Amino acid sequence: MKIKSIGLMIGVALAASVSHALADTYLYNGNTLSNGGHIDASVELACTGCGAGNYAYATGISSFSLTQYSSTNTPIATLSTSTPGVITSNFNQYVTLNGAGAVTSWVLILDNADYTTEIYTLGHGLFGTQDFGSSGHAFVNDTPGTWTLSPAAISAVPEPSTWAMMMLGFAGVGFMAYRRKSKPALMAA
């Protein structure tokens, strides 16, 4: 009985440690800038099925990136919060969702460490809507792009943690079958 209890506790602890939820990712596709290019953004929220509310960077937004494209749809510059040396501005970086899960306002600004590249997109009542990329000094005002919720990625191949849990389960079943006391077979008289 003791071994079963220990095995159950280990199994529950392993299952809890390897499980994780997918986060909602919103994608922004900006309208045409003054140089013919556009700004794209990717924002990963720290929740799944996020409801209405204001999601700030580092608390509700786990990461975001901004990319400036040329008129030929070639990336000119990309800045991401997960890249070393990239900094956020003094503004509060956030995304606001309405009850239907649509983005209604946002402020996303990134600079590299030496301030030679800055990319931002704003959709805020005070500032209007602005997309800006310092590479080529492209700018557009009051023509917002579109936000879409990226569908969750579903992998056809199980994650390594899934394989580990499956092998651990098979090993546990095999061990229990091995340890089970065998009943004596009926003897023929």
Taking 70 as the pLDDT cut, the residues of the chain under it are 1-22, 125-127, 135-138, 140-143, 152-156, 181-189
Looking at residue 67, what is its pLDDT? 92
Looking at residue 136, what is its pLDDT? 61
What pTM was computed for the model?
0.67
Q: Which helix (H) or strand (E) holds 168?
A: helix 160-179
Q: Provide long-range contacts, Cβ within 8 A and 24+ apart, for 114-117.
A: 117/77, 117/79
Looking at residue 10, what is its pLDDT? 53
Q: Decide: 18 and 165 in contact? Cβ < 8 Å.
A: yes
Looking at residue 183, what is its pLDDT? 56
Q: Provide long-range contacts, Cβ within 8 A and 24+ apart, for 59-64.
A: 60/94, 60/95, 61/93, 61/94, 61/95, 62/23, 64/93, 64/108, 64/110
Q: What is the pLDDT of residues 30-52, one digit of tens each?
A: 888 877 888 899 999 988 888 89
Looking at residue 12, what is its pLDDT? 47
